[in-house]
Amino acid sequence: MLDSHQLAELLGTAAGILDAASSQFVNGHRADSAVEKKGNDFATDVDLALEKRITAELTRLTGIGVHGEEFGGEALDAAQVWVLDPIDGTFNYAAGLPMAAMLLALLVDGEPVLGLTWLPFTAQRYTALVDGPVHCNDQPVEKLRPAALADVVVATGTYNIDSRGRYPGRYRAAMLANLSRECSRMRMHGSTGIDFAYVAAGILGGAISFGHHVWDHAAGVALVRAAGGVVTDLAGKPWTIESPSALVAAPGVHERMLELIGAAGDPEDYR
């Protein structure tokens, strides 16, 4: 097990690598699709180049393997593994929208022990070790306090009403309708990493991810936990790297969101 001093050193090394890659991230804005993926998804040349660059530097400087979104790599069940999403919010990035981020987390025995979320277009750098606190641009962020859903903004993932995946579009619409009746405002940013970082910073009260990819979640899970937030899947089970979804929120907000999500019923009933 890594001690706090070792984790802090790894965090500093990782931050330096992401800092150095930020100009490449910014300069590639509006990059075209290079690799088509499932479900109307794609990767740009910048995704591929950044993942290769960051992976090489992390491996060289830390001796720990990397599992990336585009190329895979080190097994997720390794004792220690970096998990990297070089561009979270690729659709935004390619379209010219600034809501895109670089996400990096270190898993130890499957648990995120540190997280980094870089927002180069807005010059925001979120970091945290497992025990907190969360930092934004090296300044500590106040720990999350209990809040009411009616007083906060909630972010959610995008969807197609006709989709029939793990969480069908009609189920998502019913669930979001329930939440919209009570929360202050709903937002759809198109970047899970940004949503989770903003929950950790107290900007958002909660955020929903309908996805299951660990590279979308791990960095933000580390941040939200370090901030004192609650992290589960949409059924209320504790989040793990194999979870089918993620719900992160401030205390109080999370409990109420789960109640309203549960009121939408079983996703299987919407197929």
Return the SS3 of 19.
helix
The closest of 80, 86, 9 to 54, measured between CA atoms, is 86
Q: Is residue 85 a known part of a binding site?
A: yes
Q: Is residue 88 a known part of a binding site?
A: yes
Q: Is residue 69 a known part of a binding site?
A: yes
Q: How many C-beta atoms surround the C-beta of residue 202 within 10 A? A: 18
Q: Is residue 216 a known part of a binding site?
A: yes
Whole-number Å distance between alpha carbons of 176 and 34: 33
Q: Is residue 266 a known part of a binding site?
A: no
Please give the radius of gyration of the chain, using alpha carbons only, rounded to the nearest integer: 18
CA atoms within 13 A on the CB side of 266: 3
List the alpha helices (DSSP H) in the chain. Answer: 4-27, 45-62, 90-95, 169-180, 192-200, 214-226, 253-262
Secondary structure letter of residue 96 according to DSSP:
T
Which residues fall in the annotated binding site for Mg(2+)? 69, 85, 87-88, 216
Which residues fall in the annotated binding site? 69, 85, 87-88, 216
